[in-house]
Structure 1
């Protein structure tokens, strides 16, 4: 019974808690973002905001 704690430490070692690969995060967010853009017609707002940020950054 005392050996279970050491096995848990070995299993969790090497994993980063609370982080996920950026591609996984993107794959999770894109469907919802696409739905919101289509549902609310927000594409123009996204383009406007991106343009504003680009101007602010000096591009």
Structure 2
């Protein structure tokens, strides 16, 4: 019984967080948000590795992700 009560408390804590913000998290990001997250990483790869191959690889991964 004690285990059931602790799980119920965890579930209620999560529900309160959603109620406070008024939004529920969704499983998908907007494509522009995904691009904004990836572009700094692509720039970092250019600086660290000094080549466009890493950027092309990263960009193709983003293209596949946006195509979903």
TM-score, normalization by structure 1:
0.44
Structure with greater contact order relative to length (CA < 8 Å, sep ≥ 6): 2
- Structure of greater Rg: 1
TM-score, normalization by structure 2:
0.39
